[in-house]
Structure 1
Amino acid sequence: MGDPRDEEFQHKDGVVPPSIYQIPYDSEEFDDDGKPRRTGTVWTASAHIITAIIGSGVLSLAWATAQLGWLGGIATLLIFSGIMLYTSNLLADSYRTPDPITGKRNYSYMDEVQANLGRFSCIACGILQYANLTGFVVGYTITAPKSMVAVQKSNCFHKKGHAASCRFSNNPYMIGFGICEIFLSQIPNFHELTWLSTIAAIMSFAYSSIGVGLALERLISGKGGKTSLTGVEIGVGISAAEKTWRMLRAIGDIAFAYGFSQILVDIQDTLKSRPAENKVMKKANAISMLTTTVFYMMCGCLGYAAFGNDAPGNMLTGFGFYEPFWLIDLANIFIVIHIVGAYQVLAQPVYKMIESFAIKKWPNSFFVKAEYPIKIGSKTVLSLNSLRLVGRSIFVIFVTIVSMAMPFFNDVIAFLGALGFWPLAVYFPIQMHIAQHKIKRWTFKWCMLQLLNFLCLVVSLAAAAASIQGISESLRTAKLFQFKE
């Protein structure tokens, strides 16, 4: 059956059936449901996804591979790549309901869950989704200043010598990062964010490539570390219990490194209505997942080969702050630029949720709806809105204060990620697919889907337990508002 949004599609009597597509399809300004016309393509969607997936966490994959060894590390990377591609495609099919091509649009992840699974599941999804997204932007606010401080330390060591005491506070950099994000937060939506996502995606490739290049140089020069099929060995300095905790955290790190389900629906909502959004989104998922997996394998495997079982949590720090100091500085600058863009990609669904609620609550409010265009000549370069200016600025300030107050928050993020991974990336997509396609209980496909559900739940619980152990260790030494590198 064809797509009723295509002009050549007609029923046998030559008439398009009554549906939500009664708005003229050739409208230059409006989409098939009366909303502003979308312009997104497979390439803009891929840029958004890659920006969201390939975070600075890619540099920790050498450490994760070291905990699991060659067998476990490579297998885990490939398995989770396949799982995330499959469940992301299921989520893409739920964008329109009840039919994935001719159904009514769902504008957010919560809308999808509401349409397929009901109100209770929708509320649970919303709590998990927005807690995760907020947690991740807090994590980015902590991570970006670390890279800024790394540049300052590198130059300090270069000027004063390797024995110099080069320790600096992260707080001034966090404040500067927050101010930058307040300005960028005024970008209205995903449609206007494509240029920033593209730059951020290029930056992620750039710093990953520097890490891979330095690892190759280390291997070629014969300085590679000791590796094994099973990873870090139990013995001096590591007990069986510590090995187990590290393995669980490594599996969790790899699983979460592939997660982008929280923003997938918002990205899909930017795509043109023709061809069908789910088909375009599946192509974007495949491009992004293939690209990501190649980079993850290169960083994880080459990093492990370069450092062996002593691989650091951040691959770049393993090369020291010394020489080639300019190249390490460049990589850290690329990380900061990438995080600046990734912050906005992950924050957009939060902004959208808050502003949609305000518009529904106060539809006639001048504060909520009035737009103030800023023009250069006759061209509008930006449109300011009082709600966006105030609401988004408050959100960024809140995130910055939390980041400064809790230097151990990255361990909390690991816990939030563990709690959110299974329901958002696996459970809801699978349950919506079952509901949408009316798959009967105890059929072969139903059993396989539930088996996948169960296995990913086990991974989430194990990673949550490991992250709690990490939080307990951090609480012993961390002090509020004292964050030095």
Structure 2
Amino acid sequence: MVGAGVLGLPFALSQLGWIPGVLTIVASWLITLYSLWQMVEMHEIVPGKRFDRYSELGEHAFGPNLGYWIVMPQQMLVQVASDIVYMVTGGKSLQKVFELMDPVVFEGTRLTYFILIFLALHLVLSQCPNFNSLKGVSLFAAVMSATYSTVALVASIIKGMEHRPPRHGVRSHTEVGQFFDALNGLGTIAFAFAGHSVVLEIQATIPSTPEKPSKKPMWLGVLVAYAIVAWCYVSVAIAGYWAFGEYVEDDVLISLRKPAWLIALSNFMVFIHVVGSYQVFAMPVFDLIESYLVKHLHCTPGLTLRIIARSTYVVFTAIVGICLPFFGGLLGFFGGLVFSSTSYFLPCIMWLVIMKPKRWSFHWIASWISIIVGVSIAILAPVGGMRQIILSSKSYKMFS
């Protein structure tokens, strides 16, 4: 749950300001926790049947054809967008590690080279057959995410205490700039809540019986995860913005430089974390690609198909990441475009359709609030993200 998006939250606060930024994070935490509870509950809503894919639940809610095409494209966009951002994050973090360890040799080294290293690693890891085979990688990545979030928190506090407090206004000094920055900030925060797109696939790996349904251990896991999310997201966002003000980088660890060994270590933790996260988000995409090739193009399932199909996808995400390595803009654009749907309002719509709560009941009101907030983010945030990408691209040389 604690993804690389946490590193962009101080940047989001610098675009939204103190009060709107913190309130947006807290509101997003509450809304997405509620929508995640809905998905866990609906996993076995039909007795004797489990909806092991997001698209399967969509088919149950909206019909076999319409449901599939409503959910599947959005879910796949979340997976692909996450992997593109993780390509950029992995490359940037590894670049920062080498620059801090030996600035004379590695200062100015192209980011492209480090993304290619990340690519080479995933060409190997992508051959893991399924989710269960990622248990070790996922656990190690989870420990890394909690640790580097703590490092970002502590280092930001130390940085803030050592220097005169920076200006804590918003980044832009024009009304137009502030408006579009605020939209990008909304998308950046939405990107941080991305677990919904794989929650049913993860719950499908948990044994379930009528006496011990999978929703009980799954919901316990969600509560633990969201407790850690609350601590990491709010503390890192506040500490990073407090330490650097409106000048914080779109990745707060890039803003931090001292002590060099600790910041290098935390960036390496980010690198390790996104290695595991990339595979978790890529696995449903691999499943979709291979199923299509076997069922529709009549390819022979096996190792050869897996190597070709998965390697092609990994290379694709690397190429996009190399061409558009703008962490802040990508978070805002993708966070609004697809993450707001799968995490904020699509589960609530399915809940209204399947469960049919009474009008003006708690679940009816909560679902509609989540839908209105999520749709608003989906409409507005991509505009701010695209503007951020355009501004960043003006000073960027391709493949540098």
TM-score (norm. length: structure 2): 0.91
Matched with 1:89 is 37
Gaps of 5+ in 1: 1-49, 370-384
Structure 1 pair 252/400, CA: closer, same or farther in 2 (3 Å)? Answer: closer
Matched with 2:301 is 368
Deviation at 1:447, TM superposition (A): 4.8
Comparing 435-444 with 281-290, which one deviates more in the overlay? 435-444
Structure 2 matches for 1:150-299, cutoff 5 A?
A: 150-157=96-103, 159=104, 166-221=107-162, 223-227=164-168, 231-232=169-170, 238-274=173-209, 275-299=212-236
Deviation at 1:421, TM superposition (A): 2.6
**For 1:300 and 1:428, how far apart are their aligned partners in 2?**
27
**For 1:261 and 1:138, how far apart are their aligned partners in 2?**
18
Give the number of aligned pairs.
397
SS at match of 1:104: coil
| One-letter identity of the residue aligned with 1:432 | M
> Which digits, 9 at most, give the CA deviation of each residue in 1:189-235, with x for residues without a partner?
111111000111111122212211212222443544344xxx428xx
Structure 2 matches for 1:9-48, cutoff 5 A?
A: none
Structure 1 pair 115/471, CA: closer, same or farther in 2 (3 Å)? Answer: same
The question of whether the paired residues in 2 share the 8 Å contact of 1:150 and 1:332 is answered with: yes
Matched with 2:343 is 425
The one of 253, 260, 278 equivalent to 1:325 is 260
Structure 2 matches for 1:108-127, cutoff 5 A?
A: 108-118=53-63, 119-127=65-73
Structure 1 pair 207/219, CA: closer, same or farther in 2 (3 Å)? Answer: same
Deviation at 1:244, TM superposition (A): 1.9
The one of 71, 79, 83 equivalent to 2:19 is 71
The question of whether the paired residues in 2 share the 8 Å contact of 1:55 and 1:204 is answered with: yes
> Which digits, 9 at most, give the CA deviation of each residue in 1:277-313, with x for residues without a partner?
2222222221111111111111011112222333332
The one of 309, 313, 318 equivalent to 1:391 is 309
Matched with 1:142 is 88
Matched with 2:356 is 438
The question of whether the paired residues in 1 share the 8 Å contact of 2:78 and 2:339 is answered with: no
Matched with 2:238 is 301
The question of whether the paired residues in 2 share the 8 Å contact of 1:64 and 1:73 is answered with: yes
| One-letter identity of the residue aligned with 1:344 | Q
**For 1:316 and 1:458, how far apart are their aligned partners in 2?**
30
Comparing 392-401 with 85-94, which one deviates more in the overlay? 392-401
Identical-residue share of aligned pairs (%): 27
Aligned residues: CA RMSD: 2.5
SS at match of 1:368: coil
> Which digits, 9 at most, give the CA deviation of each residue in 1:63-111, with x for residues without a partner?
222333332222222111110000011111221243xxx2411221111
Structure 1 pair 307/421, CA: closer, same or farther in 2 (3 Å)? Answer: same
**For 1:345 and 1:242, how far apart are their aligned partners in 2?**
36
Structure 1 pair 72/187, CA: closer, same or farther in 2 (3 Å)? Answer: same
**For 2:332 and 2:294, how far apart are their aligned partners in 1?**
33
**For 2:48 and 2:165, how far apart are their aligned partners in 1?**
55
The question of whether the paired residues in 2 share the 8 Å contact of 1:65 and 1:74 is answered with: yes
**For 2:76 and 2:292, how far apart are their aligned partners in 1?**
14
| One-letter identity of the residue aligned with 1:456 | G
Deviation at 1:154, TM superposition (A): 2.1
> Which digits, 9 at most, give the CA deviation of each residue in 1:148-174, with x for residues without a partner?
2212322343x58xxxx9311122222
Deviation at 1:255, TM superposition (A): 2.1
Matched with 1:106 is 51
> Which digits, 9 at most, give the CA deviation of each residue in 1:440-476, with x for residues without a partner?
5676753552233112211221212211222332444
Gaps of 5+ in 2: none
The question of whether the paired residues in 2 share the 8 Å contact of 1:218 and 1:224 is answered with: no
The one of 470, 473, 477 equivalent to 2:388 is 470
The question of whether the paired residues in 1 share the 8 Å contact of 2:328 and 2:388 is answered with: no
